[in-house]
């Protein structure tokens, strides 16, 4: 049976990945630990803030908490510690900065893990007030939701096993199984531009990574920011191959019609970039995956619906 050796390999590889994730990184490799709470900035809460023109803000204010959709399995970006239930990562910090500017302190934020495929519906049906989770701003999505920002610029890349030498870019994916999250711009690009690749989709990237480590797929594709985090946690097993082949500007997703909130969030992003919060937050989170802080992209502040 062909599956037996593969499963055996999985049993060997996964504990190795976990050991590295626990902090046993090689010398010279980026630290494999998560953000240290002591390094995280705290943000000035604008307690007098009021935005009656925003239906979302008004409802959240009455409720007494801001509900933010996030990812919970993306190292250094949006990760939930299963032992404590605490969320950490750069997107989580962006959410905290935005909340502080809207008058909500950290204990008034409720994080909800929402998969890539469910972001637009969760925002449209009011299940969440905001979404902060590697969410690329694009024209198609702007038909359904609003975007503040961008607050970060990523690019699509490929994650492969360390012993893989045949995949150096998306053109090498012909005939190969490539895994990504359903509803992501990553899988859409593969399907549109690389029709000879064999796409495989799951709800989350961490399932794709498990599939890579157990030889069920040949590569994982999504933003370099996400892939570098997985690679940094298990550098013996996986590597990011080649160069980024797209531009993925990350926005804060919100209800499409709520322009007052969108502009308030644009202002918040600019303010936290200017006062150094953005840079400090980056250094304490995404910076741990080994990439020095880039200059954040200019905030778009588009007029009308943007469609």
From the list 4-12, 159-167, 184-192, 298-306, the region that binds ligand GLU by CB under 6 A is 184-192
Closest listed residue to residue 105, CA positions, set 58, 52, 42, 59: 42
> For the chain, what's the residue count?
307
If the CB atoms of residues 222 and 259 are measured against ligand GLU, the closer one turns out to be 222
Q: What is the largest CA-CA distance in the chain?
A: 66
User: Cα 268–73–245 angle (5° rounding)?
Assistant: 75
Compute the distance between CA of residue 189 and CA of residue 113 in angstroms, rounded to an integer. 24
From the list 7-15, 18-26, 177-185, 296-304, the region that binds ligand GLU by CB under 6 A is 177-185
Cross-strand partners of 68: 111, 130
If one counts every other C-beta atom within 10 angstroms of the C-beta of residue 304, the result is 6
Tokens of 112: 């909800």
If the CB atoms of residues 101 and 122 are measured against ligand GLU, the closer one turns out to be 122
Distance of closest approach, residue 88 Cβ to ligand GLU, in angstroms? 17
Of 185, 206, 221, 259, the one binding ligand GLU (CB under 6 A) is 185
Of 54, 184, 211, 221, the one binding ligand GLU (CB under 6 A) is 184
If the CB atoms of residues 184 and 285 are measured against ligand GLU, the closer one turns out to be 184
Distance of closest approach, residue 95 Cβ to ligand GLU, in angstroms? 14
From the list 35-43, 180-188, 259-267, 290-298, the region that binds ligand GLU by CB under 6 A is 180-188
Closest listed residue to residue 231, CA positions, set 284, 297, 305, 161: 161
Of 54, 88, 122, 186, the one binding ligand GLU (CB under 6 A) is 186
If one counts every other C-beta atom within 10 angstroms of the C-beta of residue 282, the result is 21
Distance of closest approach, residue 3 Cβ to ligand GLU, in angstroms? 29
Q: Are 236 and 28 in contact (CB under 8 A)?
A: no
**Which 111-140 residues touch ligand GLU, going by CB under 6 A?**
116, 133-136
DSSP codes of every residue in 258-280: -HHHHHHHHHHHHHHHHTTHHHH
Compute the distance between CA of residue 157 and CA of residue 268 in angstroms, rounded to an integer. 29
From the list 79-87, 182-190, 211-219, 259-267, the region that binds ligand GLU by CB under 6 A is 182-190
Q: How many residues bind ligand GLU (CB under 6 A)?
A: 12
**Which 242-261 residues touch ligand GLU, going by CB under 6 A?**
248
If the CB atoms of residues 225 and 255 are measured against ligand GLU, the closer one turns out to be 225
| Helix, strand, coil share (%) of the chain residues, nearest 5 | 40, 20, 40
Q: Are 97 and 278 in contact (CB under 8 A)?
A: yes
Helices (H), 45-125: 55-63, 90-101, 119-124
If the CB atoms of residues 54 and 134 are measured against ligand GLU, the closer one turns out to be 134
If the CB atoms of residues 133 and 287 are measured against ligand GLU, the closer one turns out to be 133
Of 56, 88, 201, 222, the one binding ligand GLU (CB under 6 A) is 222
Question: Which residues are at the interface with ligand GLU (CB under 6 A)?
Answer: 116, 133-136, 181, 184-186, 222-223, 248
């Amino acid at each position: 049976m062909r599956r037996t050796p593969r499963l055996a390999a999985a049993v060997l590889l996964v504990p190795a990945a976990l050991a590295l994730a626990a902090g046993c990184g090689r010398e010279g490799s980026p630290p494999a630990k998560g953000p240290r709470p002591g390094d995280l900035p705290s943000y000035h809460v604008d307690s007098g803030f009021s935005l009656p023109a925003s239906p979302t803000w008004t409802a959240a204010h009455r409720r007494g908490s801001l509900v933010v959709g996030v990812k919970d399995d993306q190292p250094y970006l949006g990760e939930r510690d299963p032992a404590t239930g605490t969320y950490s990562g750069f997107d989580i910090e962006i959410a905290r900065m935005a909340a502080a500017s809207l008058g909500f302190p950290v204990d008034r934020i409720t994080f909800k893990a929402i998969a890539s495929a469910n972001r637009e519906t969760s925002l449209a049906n009011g299940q969440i007030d905001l979404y902060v989770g590697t969410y690329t701003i694009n024209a198609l999505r702007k038909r359904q939701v609003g975007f503040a920002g961008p607050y970060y610029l990523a690019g699509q890349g490929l994650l492969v096993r360390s012993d893989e030498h045949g995949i150096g870019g998306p053109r090498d994916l012909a005939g190969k199984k490539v895994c990504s999250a359903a509803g992501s711009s990553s899988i859409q690009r593969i399907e549109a531009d690389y029709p000879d690749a064999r796409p495989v989709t799951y709800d989350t990237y961490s399932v794709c990574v498990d599939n890579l480590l157990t030889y069920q797929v040949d590569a994982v594709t999504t933003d370099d920011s996400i892939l570098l985090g997985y690679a940094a946690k298990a550098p013996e097993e996986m590597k990011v191959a080649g160069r980024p082949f797209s531009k993925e500007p990350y926005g804060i997703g919100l209800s499409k019609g709520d322009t007052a909130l969108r502009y308030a969030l644009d202002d918040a992003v600019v303010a936290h970039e200017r006062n150094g919060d953005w840079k400090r937050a980056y250094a304490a989170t995404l910076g741990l995956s080994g990439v020095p802080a880039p200059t954040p992209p200019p905030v778009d502040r588009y007029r009308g619906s943007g469609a």
